[in-house]
Structure 1
């Protein structure tokens, strides 16, 4: 293994990071869940985030995306400080996340759920509905057209009029990914995108993620399926006991003794 392939701790100071995390800390009671995390996600990459159960991966996502307030440290998105900001403010800076268990929007069809995504809609202001009605109508028409095009791209347009609560878990994974793209994110955080889905859908999701990455979206992906994430992502960041253990290319991470030890001595593909 070359020294360049993998390094102790995080690789910081990347040329064009979308996401910069420095010294991030979070404890719940006496348990230190996130411990002085430094992490950069380079623009244009699909970066994988792995680690054993309890390593702090989802907590890190919640801290970065504004769902938890950190005890210490900083978070920057596109150079803008968003430490402790509300999720909508983090989204406005360019970072959006999905959840391991997609949240079904009660009382909405899939089409309506898609229309929640677009940012900075004129119709969000009650005053604009009366003073800029033409612009509001034009934006709504454009958003509706884009929503349907996005549903078609993800091969779920047939569910447009289906109540979101009636979709299967796998179908909701597709809807949530499609809805996230409606926000035009610079970086999209995916929390276990293939958890509970069949292999055919997992392969489709991998293809969609790659296509979106080709379109310019940067990804940070938590995933327990090692074959999936090692094939999809580069670099791979390994979190253990709340801290970054190593970062490197998939081949180096898979064979690194420290990573294998973190997974209780078992090979990563088991």
Structure 2
């Protein structure tokens, strides 16, 4: 699913890593550990295509989805905790409104698993220690750690092929 070949990256003349190769197959669980400044976040940025390597290639299986939880506190807006967790389909809430008005939206909503989205998100949120009373709270009212959990819930609901934490 993911192939990294002879990847090298340096900043300001300092090599973060050189000639890194790895293969990640479906179902693999891999831990990436190292001290601060070792290049872990840079490697994730390379895998996501946010940064270009000095040398080497990153190949991701066609149509593979990637979920990423940044190290920093993720932003939270006016959405509720449940809406944030349900945002696996960026336009799911608008699809709910449209399905009442248009038959085409019904098919799209169904195709994206819309009927199961909210119950699944509630199960995931509960598994991450959210109480049912938290589901309708504005996400911006949460502490940074709880916002991070809400974003983690979104990724778990999304079920990406590759999850970078």
TM tier, smaller? 0.7 to 0.9
Deviant stretches of 4+, over 6 Å: none
Gaps of 5+ in 1: 1-17, 81-91, 191-270
Partner of 1:135: 107
CA shift in 2, pair 1:137/1:189, >3 Å? closer
- 1:112, distance to aligned residue in structure 2 (A): 1.5
TM-score, normalisation: structure 2: 0.76
TM-score, normalisation: structure 1: 0.50
- 1:184, distance to aligned residue in structure 2 (A): 1.6
Partner of 1:45: 28
Partner of 1:167: 142
Aligned ranges for residues 177-256 of structure 1 at < 5 Å?
Answer: 177-190=152-165
> Any conservation in 1 of the 2:64–2:162 contact (CA below 8 Å)?
no
Q: Which digits, 9 at most, give the CA deviation of each residue in 1:111-152, with x for residues without a partner?
A: 12122213796x67xx99746132245554432232223222
Cα separation, 2, equivalents of 1:131 and 1:30 = 58
CA shift in 2, pair 1:166/1:37, >3 Å? same
Cα separation, 1, equivalents of 2:35 and 2:116 = 44
Structure 1 counterpart of 2:72, from 67, 90, 101 = 101
Q: Secondary structure at the match of 1:99?
A: coil
Structure 2 counterpart of 1:72, from 55, 59, 66 = 55
Gaps of 5+ in 2: none
RMSD of the TM alignment (CA)?
2.9
Cα separation, 1, equivalents of 2:20 and 2:126 = 39
> Any conservation in 2 of the 1:102–1:176 contact (CA below 8 Å)?
no
> Any conservation in 2 of the 1:77–1:95 contact (CA below 8 Å)?
no
Cα separation, 2, equivalents of 1:137 and 1:94 = 19
In the alignment of these two chains, the number of paired residues is 158
> Any conservation in 2 of the 1:104–1:164 contact (CA below 8 Å)?
no
Q: Which digits, 9 at most, give the CA deviation of each residue in 1:17-60, with x for residues without a partner?
A: x3221122333443433422212234433322112221111100
> Any conservation in 1 of the 2:74–2:148 contact (CA below 8 Å)?
no
- 1:99, distance to aligned residue in structure 2 (A): 1.2
> Any conservation in 1 of the 2:73–2:145 contact (CA below 8 Å)?
no
